[in-house]
Amino acid sequence: MREIRVGLIGFGTVGSGTAEVLRMQATRLRRKTGADIRLVRVADLNLTKLPREHAGVELTRDAEQVLTAPDLDIVVELIGGIEPAKTFILQAIAQGKHVVTANKALISQHGREIFTAAATKNVEVGFEASVGGGIPVIKALKEGLVANRIESIVGIMNGTSNYILNRMTDEGLDFATVLKDAQAHGYAEADPRYDIEGIDAAHKLVILMSIAYGAHVRLDQVSTEGISQIEPIDIEFAREFGYRIKLLAISRNHGDSYEARVHPTMISNQELLANIGGAFNAIRFTGDTVGDVLLYGQGAGKMPTGSAVVSDIVDIARNIINGAVNRVPSLGYRSENLREVEITPLDRLRCPYYFRVTVQNKPGVLAVITGILGKHGISIQSVLQQGRDKQGVVPVMMRVYEAREDAVRAALAKIDALDVCAAPTVKIRMITS
């Protein structure tokens, strides 16, 4: 039986999950592929021995023994971060090894260099686990939806922020309390700002846009806002109108340009995306031939992410066995057909908005604010002053009809500059479908 030999760098949560999935599914994978896919060597700086069930797998502290070892076919990088992961991956490729990684930060920022190096050496780079944890979202987009022009991508791509918003919504807890709990559950990135400031979701959106549109998309082209300014009162207001607040990553295809944005969004609770609980992820693609496709599942965690990593290992093993390496290009499009693209400026966005202005509680203040909104062509749908007056200051919540982002920014800049305004206005975009 053909043997496919795998080396793994990083035996943390995802690394140990990958080893476990390979071990648990060994017989099934042999039946499916006709090959013995064997984890041969693990490199990890923090381990002195591997768990007993992985007896027979070598352990080293030296990554070189995986990267340059002539006896390995596939190198799996699961240490995360940019360096030394990038150097390791390029080194493995230079040695003619196929690579599998879950590293969304690296693929979203250095994917072009890595894919070019891999194409030159005719090896594959699998990165299914970089988006949506255990959900086979990349394979679905590259292969299952190949016969579509992708019209939009809308998704909950960060489990930590979804977990935080859900607990704030369901239990009325405040942001800081729930963040601590999310960290204790181990969903959060090493630096939780990546989760709560929307950066992790932006990494994932860049990867999906690149595949969906066959394009070079840069991280700095994504407008990114996080959830740290959301307060229970915003969630309560949304609930009263049948909405929930979600951190959504959104890209819409306008033909000559593409939206690229991550921000808290009020979404009708009639929508499936509004009802994604816990730390789950859900990603909706709209294709011109298929219509809507919603993929839902665990976006993080040891075994789900291990499942995605192993799916890449198996794909590569099958391609090696069948002499079909690079059957499907890294981004689904042939590299010579990848394009630079225009990103739609956020200022051109039109949608309904929610505002929370924090102002002094005295006569005439609301008239000034509504006057400014009116001058900028922004029409109010509803207003609510609720909550305690704290030292003469109150929050006023408003819902406005569809307006252009540049008009909203200009109006809020004027409102925030008023003497009666005690804190910057919080704005949340609303999505209707």
- Residues near ligand HSE (CB under 6 A) are 133, 158-160, 187-189, 195, 200, 299-300
Q: Which of 104, 204, 246, 302 is catalytic?
A: 204
104 catalytic per annotation = no
Other beta carbons within 10 Å of 49: 8
Instruction: Give whichever of 33 and 108 is closer to ligand HSE, judged by the CB atom.
Output: 108
Q: Is 314 helix (H, G, I), strand (E, B) or coil?
A: helix
State the minimum distance, in angstroms, from the CB of residue 130 to ligand HSE. Answer: 8
Instruction: Give whichever of 104 and 244 is closer to ligand HSE, judged by the CB atom.
Output: 104
State the minimum distance, in angstroms, from the CB of residue 298 to ligand HSE. Answer: 9
Q: Which amino acid, one-letter code, is at 308?
A: A
| CB contact at 8 A, 284 and 155 | yes
Q: Among candidates 37, 18, 24, which has minimal Cα distance to 306?
A: 18
Q: Which residues pair with 59 in a beta bridge?
A: 42
Q: Distance (Å, rounded) from C-alpha 126 to C-alpha 204?
A: 15
Q: Is 332 helix (H, G, I), strand (E, B) or coil?
A: coil
Q: Which amino acid, one-letter code, is at 231?
A: E
Q: Distance (Å, rounded) from C-alpha 210 to C-alpha 119?
A: 17
Q: How far is CA 241 from CA 169, 269, 384, in A?
A: 14, 9, 12
Exposed / middle / buried, residue 409 (Cβ in 10 Å: 0-12, 13-18, 19+): middle
Taking the mean position of all CA atoms in its chain, how far away is CA 341?
20
State the minimum distance, in angstroms, from the CB of residue 37 to ligand HSE. Answer: 24
Instruction: Give whichever of 200 and 259 is closer to ligand HSE, judged by the CB atom.
Output: 200
| CB contact at 8 A, 2 and 321 | yes
Instruction: Give whichever of 41 and 104 is closer to ligand HSE, judged by the CB atom.
Output: 104
Instruction: Give whichever of 302 and 399 is closer to ligand HSE, judged by the CB atom.
Output: 302
State the minimum distance, in angstroms, from the CB of residue 281 to ligand HSE. Answer: 7
State the minimum distance, in angstroms, from the CB of residue 318 to ligand HSE. Answer: 26
Catalytic residues: 204
